[in-house]
Homo-oligomer: A and B are copies of this chain.
Amino acid sequence: MIQIADYYSPIVGEFEQLVLLALLRLGNGAYGASILRELRERTGREIAIGALYMTLGRLEAKKMICSYTGEPTPQRGGRRRKHYLMDTAGQQALGRAYRTLRSMSEGFEQQLARM
């Protein structure tokens, strides 16, 4: 059981942002493996699967995302998928983080892209 402070913290961490962005990109249907693939392909980082589930669990505990369990798919085997969707709080937090970085980067985009 993940414990979360009872005051609302609108700030999301660096990796949390990446996970929320992956959910935004993938839309409904996203689950562990597809999120992992998206993150690896787009960031080029070697991301541990445990790190991802840990972060998904924390984001859900903070009500930034929600989840539902998928139906078992015939011809496949294996445990059911757990699908994730961004909740309102997650969208707001992601939007804030995005605008903050935009504001701090404003006018330096070219330079940053070449650093």
**Residue A99, interface by CB 8 Å:** yes
Given A14-B11, A14-B12, A108-B25, are A115 and B95 also a contact pair (CB < 8 Å)? yes
Question: When A14-B11, A111-B24, A115-B91 are in contact, do A105 and B97 touch as well, CB less than 8 Å?
Answer: no
* Contact (Cβ within 8 A) B12 A43: no
A104 at the interface (CB under 8 A from B): yes
Chain B's closest residue to A97 (CB) is B14
Q: Is the CB of A21 within 8 A of B94?
A: no
- Expressed in whole angstroms, the Cα–Cα distance for A93 and B18 within the complex equals 16
Question: How far, in Å, is A62 (CB) from chain B's closest CB?
Answer: 15
Do the beta carbons of A100 and B18 come within 8 Å of each other?
yes
Instruction: List residues of chain A with CB under 8 Å of any chain B CB.
Output: 11-14, 17-18, 21-22, 24-25, 39, 42-45, 91-92, 94-95, 97-108, 111-115
Q: Which 8 A-B pairs have the closest CB atoms?
A: A95-B115, A21-B104, A98-B112, A14-B14, A42-B103, A91-B115, A43-B100, A13-B14
